[in-house]
Structure 1
């Protein structure tokens, strides 16, 4: 099914990732967040797609700034986390844990994935094999903890463990090269990670970015998903067998200082 779902990714602002997901059977199309209006409207013009929905991952300004202009231009329905309160403009529908969202024939499950912020949600299109992780899970990294303890983000990240390796992961920012540098500092003997860093450097030189990633690639190279492994415990000076949550907390604190 993933091949039948049409997707366009593009840069917004300096490092936000714009994502359009379209169901070709019905023509319905969703934008995942609207960091700024111009690039989203340009992508719609280039593709000829008609925007029907805006799926908001969280309330931060760099993810919602362009919503009013895009809604005026397209009439798209705005779906936002209920826990964001009134922070997201022009909301039509609020969602929380266990809800589903339809984009034409595509169905997304809503997960509450707090940690980066309290209202964050992730959209999991199970049949299409697509997860839109916002600022929770990045290629080679994870979000900065801005609200609540880091253990909350750890619990959110663990939800991705149940997804198949081939799942495409669409994150909210292109932080790949900086994430790769930290990942290699934390996991320096990981040959898969060395190869991914080289791939990210080539992509940057060619004007591309490594988004989407796949969950299989993240399991092999993302230190924040690998904190149960002895190599990552060692990197934060913890004994082998240390609780993975404690290793994650130490890794996240190290990344904040990196």
Structure 2
């Protein structure tokens, strides 16, 4: 299975395709060589990537309890044991954690500080891990490329609040989300934001990328702000397109999410 790599002066970020449409990520601190794995949908492609690069694991971060994000943990840890980090609020549904995390916590990967954000909505206890010096945020099924996760456990108000936290990160943050759903998300986004030129351009770019077998994840937060309807509840054009000009931002988000559920 393929992978794609982003290199910066201080970090290496590797996106690994798993299962049919999942992604796992490796983040390496170049100063110390410490490596974190974010989510474990499937052991084999991750183990292959680690072996190819000659890397070992320093930490494993789990974003939420759904099987397609954790089911490879036991198998992978036989070959690449590492301490497991995950949400304290989700600990009863995760593999046994070595480090239980809460909103507002900060921990270190080598010399890289990592901030813990509660982004409940898709599930209760879902966390995002934000590494500002790496310009990377691991958002799994909360903020996604051109979308957001379905609300299996949380409410629209919770997800809107979670997305608002993430929208405050810098424009050049790489949003490392959990699935290759971007092409279908684009088709929906165009139904609620049809006159958005940036969205139209992105939809064409997505089609080209996928036709060439390339990933559409990670995506820059600046691009999400410009095109992702779930971050654009305050946009007058989107509001007009769905006849909600006078609604609150939360009401607009709720309607857009409901339309996506029916799409």
TM-score tier (shorter): over 0.9
Matched, 1:43 2:49: yes
Matched, 1:99 2:105: yes
Alpha-carbon distance in 1 for matches of 2:199, 2:36? 32
Q: How does 1:40-189 map to 2 (within 5 A)?
A: 40-189=46-195
Alpha-carbon distance in 2 for matches of 1:101, 1:72? 25
Mean alpha-carbon deviation: is it higher for 240-249 or for 107-116? 240-249
Name the SS of the counterpart of 2:17 in structure 1: strand
Query: In the alignment, is the contact (CA less than 8 A) between 1:68 and 1:90 conserved in 2?
Result: no
Alpha-carbon distance in 2 for matches of 1:190, 1:233? 12
Name the SS of the counterpart of 1:85 in structure 2: helix
Name the SS of the counterpart of 1:35 in structure 2: coil
Query: Which runs of no fewer than 5 residues in structure 1 stay unpaired?
Result: none
Q: RMSD over aligned Cα, in angstroms? A: 1.2
Shift in Å, 1:95: 0.4
Alpha-carbon distance in 1 for matches of 2:204, 2:81? 42
Q: Deviations over 1:223-250 (max 9, x none)?
A: 0101111222223221x24211100000
**Size of the alignment, in residue pairs?**
257
Query: Which runs of no fewer than 5 residues in structure 2 stay unpaired?
Result: 1-6
Matched, 1:254 2:259: yes
Q: 1:202 to 1:232 in 2, by over 3 A?
A: same
Name the SS of the counterpart of 1:110 in structure 2: strand
